[in-house]
Amino acid sequence: MQKRYLGKSKLEVSALGLGCMGMSFSYGPPKDKREMIALMRAAVERGVTFFDTAEAYGPYVNEELVGEALEPFRGKVVIATKFGWKLDPQAERGLAGLDSRPEQIKRVAEASLTRLRVEALDLFYQHRVDPNVPIEDVAGAVQDLIREGKVKHFGLSEAAAATIRRAHAVQPVTAVQSEYSLWWRRPEEEVMPALAELGIGFVPYSPLGKGFLTGKIDENTRFEKNDFRSILPRFTPEARKANQQLVSLLGRIAAGKGATPAQIALAWLLARQPWIVPIPGTTRLERLEENLGAVDIVLSPEDRREIESAASQLPIEGDRYPAEFERLTDR
């Protein structure tokens, strides 16, 4: 497995990480615990050293799962987790608004250390920017945790370029995590140029468009009620039918390279910058191995131009999130 540094930091991780959210949360019922532990350990055996979780996933149970699975590899893998949600088991999906008050950040850190069974959190992201707490206070709270040896690196998720700059001026930001793929390219406008300038790594989540870019989802796919995609505008049957053009494009490129659409979508991300580390999620070993195969695919400049030129001409149908969730995204 190839390795990459997240920006100018000395945090070295595998070129592809593993997003663990779907093992416990958001994509239908929680999966079998023993199977998910075996999957994470199989990922380690295949060279994956970067795992992504959050206290909000479950809530709490995903961190506990990741902590148990990766405890034998302590010191050999990098675990990223997150703070910033106000959690309430009675609320929809357990999320009851944002809370990044410094005292709350420190409480979350202590609890995450216990659930993850580690002595320090490798990468601690603010899950969503809290408009009620100055980002300087957030960065200062994480800086305190770094000085105490409880956190190693600071990250932000779905943060705007201006927010990233303000945070970075207080406590250097190691990585920014945002949705990024061939069908969600907004980070290219302002965020990625800022990351390049500041030397910050970029961790795309949903790099396969929540599964759509794999080519395994079409207008006839049925999602369970507790699958988050069932409420996403981009995943209505009409939108899925319209958006098949992008999957067909990936399929054509893939056929010429003996690859799959998912591998081409991930290879395109890897080719964008050496400080980009996608974290596709999966709950199946065959999908994990398929995703890891993307690391060995070489896209020439001509390949990338063809993909980007064709993709830019394809209109994408549907918003990525419902309006009430999109409002939580920093601008």
Q: What angle do CA 46, 47, 51 make, to 5 degrees?
A: 105
Phi, psi of 232 (to 5 degrees): -85, 130
Distance (Å, rounded) from C-alpha 255 to C-alpha 264? Answer: 10
Cβ contact 178:158 at 8 Å: yes
Give the CA distances from residue 261 to residues 50, 220, 271, in Å, rounded to whole numbers and listed in that order: 23, 19, 15
Q: 80: part of which helix (H) or strand (E)?
A: strand 78-83
For tokens 């949705």, what's the residue? 179
Pairing of strands 18-19, 50-52: parallel
Give me 113's structure tokens: 């250390």
Provide the residue type at 311 as one letter. A
Question: Helix count (H) and strand count (E) of the chain?
Answer: 12, 11
Report the catalytic residues: 57
d(CA 155, CA 326): 20
CA–CA gap between residue 254 and residue 265 (Å, rounded) = 9
Question: How many CA atoms lie within 13 Å of 194's alpha carbon, on the beta-carbon side?
Answer: 19
Distance of CA 296 to the CA centre of its chain: 21
Q: Cβ distance 300 to 268 under 8 Å?
A: no
Q: What is the DSSP string of 174-198?
A: EEEEEE-BTTB-GGGTTHHHHHHHH
With residues binned 3-state (H G I as helix, E B as strand, rest as coil), the percentages for the chain, rounded to 5, are: 45, 15, 35
